[in-house]
């Protein structure tokens, strides 16, 4: 097996469906997914995990024969060897952004053997690209655990086989973790506070009265995905000597909890925010929504929002197809429609990818004169991760939180994207997709002259 880009034509629909999914880690469960993985690695510069599962869902004592063959094929296709890893024990499973299970569990083997992957290998935004043979029982099994979207069909000689994208159900809102309560109480110290509302909690860590940064995070991520078990941005804010108010959600709640709203009302009425010379609300995605939505609690505060949603109210954004589990919440009230209520803020720094269709549609709803839209093209929804990989996230966010970021400074720093592999590939591929091979050649020559890109080098040979 030697996956090549030209051999991926049969998987064009799948690649198109996965094209906008940002990925830093991809899992491959058998060699049938290697070609798709090679194309995605080229696009995202991500790590490919070859997961050596037995047909029963365990791990073999010796490596399966397909592992070495697949690894060799990926390297022959131009994938750097240091971007390929082998997962040979359950304890090594960590959440992937995309899992490729083509012609495997659900077709050749029982789908229940996927349980270790479904339990430990998926996070709330993961996608499992899988195939399901009619009569295998895979559809009922998966639908109990998430949503299935059929994007194609084939026939394997015995029965029809559906190609499916599976999205796991987000975790249900949970009460505050006892370990988190203990950690948060220690972090707050004698002069701060920790308030537990059940599904949500507030942690205030006082430092200086110069700047307060209000952050929004998911408790599950803080407690299980970060070794330090701290709220998002904690260490970064601590280094600046700023005070911090961390608002934690026990699940994918979009903070639509009357208790959260009442807490912000109480803090405003008590004059909590007026203690500080500057207040900044900061978050990404769900947290970016919250940063803009709750800013009216401190009128005039700045907002730094990365890839935010404006609302999930179906009446206002019927085109938003993500985050189904949060569609039923009430998005009305003074902290409801972030695009509208953020007019009470000072400056709103809104970072987004204009080519990520849904993120751009949300950004379009922010029309206030106080909104500074900072476009980061061709990097997708996980824009913060892309900026971090470019090496510019810290200085950009520091300047934004400090109120000193200007569009000129930002776009000067964003020139770093010119050497970012995903951006290079997207630029090259878009030129080809639009029927402009001459432009693609110019992009390719520049990339190869300034450091190289294995997939573009191969594609240039084809051109």
The closest of 340, 343, 344, 323 to 332, measured between CA atoms, is 340
Q: So what's the pLDDT on residue 11? A: 58
Average pLDDT over residues 21-25: 76
Q: How many domains does the chain have?
A: 3
* 248 secondary structure, DSSP code: E
Q: So what's the pLDDT on residue 250? A: 84
Do 130 and 261 lie in a common domain? no
Report the alpha-carbon distance of residue 364 to residue 223 in Å, rounded: 34
The residue with tokens 């839209």 is 373
Distances (CA, A) of 63 to 26, 53, 70, 157: 19, 10, 12, 30
Question: What percent of the chain clears pLDDT 90, i.e. is strictly above it?
Answer: 48
Q: So what's the pLDDT on residue 9? A: 33
User: How is residue 417 written in tokens?
Assistant: 């994207």
Report the alpha-carbon distance of residue 455 to residue 45 in Å, rounded: 11
Mean pLDDT, the chain, integer: 87
Check pLDDT > 90 for residue 202.
yes
In a domain, 291, yes or no: yes
Q: So what's the pLDDT on residue 40? A: 86
Average pLDDT over residues 90-95: 89
In a domain, 347, yes or no: yes
Check pLDDT > 80 for residue 100.
yes
Average pLDDT over residues 366-384: 90
Average pLDDT over residues 430-458: 85
* 7 secondary structure, DSSP code: G
Check pLDDT > 70 for residue 313.
yes
Q: Which pTM was predicted?
A: 0.77
The mean-pLDDT minimum among 35-44, 188-197, 199-208, 406-415 falls in 35-44
Check pLDDT > 90 for residue 371.
yes
CB 270, CB 245: distance < 8 Å? no
Do 282 and 305 lie in a common domain? yes
In sequence order, what DSSP letters do the residues of 112-169 get, joined into one string?
GGGHHHHHHSEEEEEEEEEEEETTSSHHHHHHTTEEEEEEEEEE-SSSEEEEEEEEEP
Tell me which residue range forms the domain holding 296.
Answer: 178-417
In a domain, 247, yes or no: yes
The residue with tokens 């070495």 is 68
Handedness of CA 434, 438, 444, 447 (dihedral sign): negative
Do 277 and 388 lie in a common domain? yes
- Orientation angle between helical segments 454-462 and 421-433, nearest 10 degrees: 20
User: How is residue 244 written in tokens?
Assistant: 């911090």
* 55 secondary structure, DSSP code: T
Q: Which residue has the higher pLDDT, 10 or 21?
A: 21
Average pLDDT over residues 83-112: 91
Q: Quickly state the pLDDT bin for 183 (edges 50, 70, 90).
A: confident
User: Given 168, 199, 225, which residue is the final one in a domain?
Assistant: 168
State the CB neighbour count (10 A cutoff) for residue 437: 12
In a domain, 173, yes or no: no
pLDDT per position as a tens digit, 216-251: 987 665 545 545 567 767 888 888 999 999 998 888
Average pLDDT over residues 92-116: 91
CB 50, CB 86: distance < 8 Å? yes
Check pLDDT > 50 for residue 178.
yes
In a domain, 267, yes or no: yes
Q: So what's the pLDDT on residue 226? A: 47
Do 149 and 226 lie in a common domain? no
Report the alpha-carbon distance of residue 276 to residue 214 in Å, rounded: 12
The closest of 386, 337, 339, 387 to 367, measured between CA atoms, is 339
Check pLDDT > 70 for residue 374.
yes
What is the domain-level CATH number for residue 114?
3.40.50.150
Do 264 and 301 lie in a common domain? yes
User: How is residue 462 written in tokens?
Assistant: 């084809």
The mean-pLDDT minimum among 90-104, 330-344, 417-431 falls in 417-431
């Amino acid at each position: 097996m030697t996956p090549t880009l030209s051999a991926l034509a049969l998987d064009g629909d799948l690649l198109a469906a996965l094209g906008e999914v940002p990925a830093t880690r991809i899992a491959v469960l058998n060699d049938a997914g290697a070609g798709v993985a090679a194309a995605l690695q080229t696009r995202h510069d991500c790590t490919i995990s070859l997961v050596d599962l037995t047909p029963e869902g365990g791990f073999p004592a010796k490596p399966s024969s397909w592992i070495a063959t697949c690894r060799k094929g990926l390297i022959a296709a131009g994938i750097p060897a240091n971007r390929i890893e082998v997962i040979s024990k359950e304890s090594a499973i960590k959440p992937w952004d995309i899992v490729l299970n083509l012609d495997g569990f659900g077709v050749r083997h029982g789908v229940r053997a996927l349980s270790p992957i479904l339990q430990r290998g998926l996070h709330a935004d993961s996608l499992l690209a899988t195939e399901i043979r009619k009569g295998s029982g895979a559809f009922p099994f998966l639908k109990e655990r998430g949503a299935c979207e059929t994007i194609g069909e084939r026939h394997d000689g015995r029965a029809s086989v559906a190609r499916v994208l599976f999205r796991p159900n987000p975790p249900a809102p949970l009460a505050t973790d006892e370990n988190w309560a203990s950690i948060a109480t220690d972090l707050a110290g004698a002069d701060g506070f920790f308030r537990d509302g059940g599904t949500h909690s507030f942690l205030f860590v006082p430092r200086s009265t110069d700047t307060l940064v209000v952050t929004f995070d998911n408790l599950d991520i803080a407690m299980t995905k970060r070794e330090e078990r701290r709220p998002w941005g904690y260490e970064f804010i601590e280094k600046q000597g700023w005070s911090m108010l961390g608002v934690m959600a026990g699940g994918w709640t979009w903070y639509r909890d009357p208790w959260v709203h009442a807490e912000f009302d109480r803090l405003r009425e008590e004059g909590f925010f007026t203690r500080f010379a500057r207040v900044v609300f900061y978050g990404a995605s769900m947290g970016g929504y919250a940063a803009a939505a709750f800013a009216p609690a401190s009128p005039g505060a700045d907002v730094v929002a990365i890839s935010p949603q404006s609302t999930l109210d179906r009446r206002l954004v019927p085109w938003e197809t993500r985050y189904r589990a949060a569609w039923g919440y009430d998005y009305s009230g003074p902290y409801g429609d972030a695009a509208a209520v953020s007019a009470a803020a000072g400056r709103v720094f809104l970072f987004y990818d204009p080519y990520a269709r849904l993120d751009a549609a949300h950004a379009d709803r922010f029309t206030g004169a106080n909104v500074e839209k900072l476009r980061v093209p061709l990097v997708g929804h996980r824009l913060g991760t892309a900026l971090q990989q470019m090496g510019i996230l810290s200085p950009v966010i520091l300047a934004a939180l400090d109120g000193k970021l200007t569009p000129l400074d930002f776009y000067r720093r964003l020139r770093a994207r010119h050497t970012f592999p995903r951006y290079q590939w997207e630029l090259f591929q878009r030129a080809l997709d639009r029927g402009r091979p001459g432009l693609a050649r110019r992009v390719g020559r520049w990339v190869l002259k300034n450091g190289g890109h294995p997939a573009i080098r191969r594609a240039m040979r084809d051109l």
